[in-house]
Amino acid sequence: MTQHTNAYGQPVGAPLPDWQPRSWPSYETFNGQYCRLEPLSAERHGRDLYAAYALAIDGGDWTYMFAEPFTSEAEYLAYARKIEQGKDPMHFAVIDLRSQRAVGTLALMRIDTAHGVVEVGHVAFSPLLKQTSMATEAHYLLMRYAIEQLGYRRYEWKCDSCNLPSRKAALRLGFQFEGLFRQAIVYKGRSRDTCWFSIIDGEWPPLKQAFERWLAAENFNAEGTQRMKLEALR
């Protein structure tokens, strides 16, 4: 690693003489091979999303979310109306290209244009979306938008330290674990230690290549089972 020093001989970070604040993300539609991301709309997506979430055997998918399980369609629609078109977080619905139905959501949040930092969060994937090519592609599409199109330097993932599936998902997607923030949040009447992960812009080119190789049709057999794991392609 190159060592940079200032006029006083003190070590300093790498210079960024041409740095400019990045643009705020916009509500766009992102098209993939297996799914499409659309700005969340309670009217267009709400009923499909409630039906997809209702397929879960219990409310465990919401344990580490700030929202609680929804007991009725009306309750979920009210929630979706509250969060749609928000400035931060910005929620997107994941649309299954085969059924053309919304099967989950995720969001860009904690948007910091001055420093080029953004977090992906509020990841609410239904049983129709979990552990599918759509789930990986949804993350890839939003990641590519933030890092490649908007030029953000840092793409973050944070989760409750108790949420082992989320921690494993972050590592599978190529995020680097950075540490544990103890007693960072109080939610749902309990304390949360938060795990921090990130991808930085210099890591994006090989990650992008791995995503595209994994998502390629030839990486799946006739039953849709992957031939190579994403981790093996990095």
Question: What is the CATH number for 68?
Answer: 3.40.630.30
Mean pLDDT for the stretch of residues 23-39: 98
Q: Which among 120, 113, 103, 118 has a CA at the least distance from the CA of 38?
A: 103
pTM over 0.85: yes
**Is 4 within the bounds of a domain?**
no
Structural domain including 160 reads: 24-233
Structure tokens at 95: 């649309």
Domain count, the chain: 1
The answer as to whether 1 is a domain residue is no
N-to-C CA span, the chain: 22
Position 10 in a domain: no
Give the per-residue pLDDT at 51: 98
In a domain, 139, yes or no: yes
**Residue 35 pLDDT > 90, yes or no?**
yes
Whole-number average pLDDT of the chain: 97
The answer to whether the beta carbons of residues 30 and 139 sit under 8 Å apart is no
Mean pLDDT for 191-220 is 98
Would you state the pLDDT for residue 2?
81
Count of residues for the chain?
234
Residue 13 falls within a domain, yes or no?
no
**Is the pLDDT assigned to residue 232 strictly greater than 80?**
yes
**Residue 102: inside a domain:** yes
> What are the tokens at 126?
């239904």
Is 5 domain-assigned? no
User: CA 149, CA 207: separation in Å to the nearest integer?
Assistant: 15
Q: Is the pLDDT of residue 206 over 90?
A: yes
Q: Is the pLDDT of residue 58 over 80?
A: yes
pLDDT for 199: 98
Residue 15 within any structural domain of the chain: no
pLDDT(89) > 80: yes
Residue 189 Ramachandran class (φ > 0 left, ψ -120 to 50 alpha, else beta): left
For residue 79, is pLDDT > 80?
Answer: yes
Tokens 């997107």 locate to 92
Give the list of residues 6+ apart from residue 9 with CB closer than 8 angstroms, or none. none
pLDDT at 1 over 80: no
Asked if pLDDT for residue 10 goes beyond 80, the answer is: yes
pLDDT digit string, tens, across residues 113-133: 999 999 999 999 999 999 999
Burial of 154 (0-12, 13-18, 19+ CB in 10 A): middle
